[in-house]
Amino acid sequence: MKWFYIDTSITDGDRRQGPYSIDEIRDFVNEGKIKDETLVWHSGETNWKAWKDFPEASEPPEPTEEELLKQTIETLLQGRMQRKRFAGFFVRANAFIIDNLILSVVGAIFLYIISLAGMLDLSAASEIANQYIENPTSTELVSKALELPGMSTFFTIWSVVQAIYFIVFHAVWGATPGKKLMRIHVEMANGEKLSWAFSIFRFVASIVTQATLIFYGLGYLIVLIDPQKRALHDFIAQTRVVHNAIEQKEKKEV
């Protein structure tokens, strides 16, 4: 079907433009060359009519190949997200406990080593630790611990070890040992693997979540009500923690 339109910007000569396909006409509409009141005609019509009076004016344009590809990818991602089982609060808490047990063992070994080197009075540190267990909200005990020779160095190194632990495991394997044991892993909101940059970003964001412990741990408790079981740092870093089980089942079926 051949389409024509009247170009009112032409003051001298034939103002009729065409023939064009309907896709070209729609392109002219998008470009502003054809407006609602522009006279348009196509083969089969008796008279010229305003573009807005044609049924084609209200029909959505045919999507381009790029738009079709984008829609297909979005549909696939949505379907994949619907099949995922997001890891809930208690599963994530168990993974976190396992990770901290591992880190505690490493920390205990390190404490023992620096005590053997004479850099730390282990008995004094143990006494403060026992008092802290009985009174975990005491800031005075924390200050006492930091005043012990070698303890500030230990905490500095310990913080670095924790950062390396979570950043490396999430960036390389998508899961810490605790998460692997619980058969869950961390991924981006679009299902992709965490990059090093986002693994670092997520760890920094987790510090913000930890800070909410003074507000009854709201940064963690939102996992209980969020449909995708996200903690505060997941919202910040745009990550999700999901179960491995479904993906493994799909691989077996293939």
pLDDT tens for residues 97-127? 999 999 989 988 887 888 787 777 778 777 8
Same domain, 144 and 22: no
The total domain count for the chain is: 2
Same domain, 162 and 104: yes
Which residues, 6 or more positions from 224, have their beta carbon under 8 angstroms from its beta carbon?
88, 89
Domain membership of residue 143 (yes or no) is yes
Same domain, 150 and 242: yes
Domain membership of residue 245 (yes or no) is yes
128: enclosing H helix or E strand = helix 122-134
Same domain, 26 and 100: no
Same domain, 89 and 50: no
Same domain, 50 and 14: yes
Q: Which tokens belong to 141?
A: 């005990």
In angstroms, the CA 123 to CA 113 distance is 14
pLDDT tens for residues 198-242? 999 999 999 999 999 888 899 999 999 999 999 999 999 999 999
Same domain, 100 and 212: yes
Domain housing 89: 84-253
Burial bucket for residue 220 (CB in 10 Å: 0-12, 13-18, 19+): buried
| Predicted pLDDT at 251 | 47
* Statement: the pTM of the whole predicted model exceeds 0.85: no
Q: Which of 124, 103, 132, 85 is nearest to 228 (CA)?
A: 85
Domain membership of residue 38 (yes or no) is yes
17: enclosing H helix or E strand = strand 16-20
pLDDT tens for residues 12-67? 888 999 999 988 898 899 888 999 999 999 988 889 999 999 988 777 666 667 77
Same domain, 11 and 109: no
Same domain, 99 and 202: yes
Query: Tell me, what CATH number does 38's domain have?
Result: 3.30.1490
Domain membership of residue 93 (yes or no) is yes
Same domain, 118 and 13: no
Same domain, 96 and 19: no
